[in-house]
Amino acid sequence: MSSIFTRIVNGEIPSAKVYEDDHTFAFMDIHPASRGHTLVICKEEYPDLLTTPAELVAAVAITTRRVAQAIVAALQPDGFNIVQNNGAAAGQVVFHYHVHIIPRWEGDRAVRGWEPGTANMAELHELASLISAQIKTS
């Protein structure tokens, strides 16, 4: 079964389209965190960042930048968040790769940050080594 986003791209479900090109589609979020909250999706359906081909991730990034520039010009927010969730534990609800652009104004409570933790340098070096060992070079 197709995701709700695929159905939007196919015109089966209405949306307030902001932008479209061969690989990406941007539209207003119907459950916005703030005024102007926009979603940018890959037209092809992949569940998350890790399953989406690199060239399509790049296309979504380029569209995200383009739409964010337009949001800033049109709405003049004080800033904006770019949010991309992967997996239910990270808050992903629709399993179709997408990016949120959330305009922000001073004093709003649209997106709350995390509580910074603490780590020691030895642990950071150990984690860096574990992660670095998993990076595959082409």
Query: Active-site residues: which are they?
Result: 98
SS3 19: strand
Cα–Cα dist 120/4, whole Å: 43
* φ, ψ (nearest 5 deg) of residue 104: -130, 145
Say if CB 22 and CB 55 are below 8 A apart.
Answer: no
Of 44, 48, 37, nearest to 82 by C-alpha is 37
Return the ∠ at Cα 16 (arms to 13 and 18), rounded to 5°: 125
Name the β-bridge partners of 90.
none
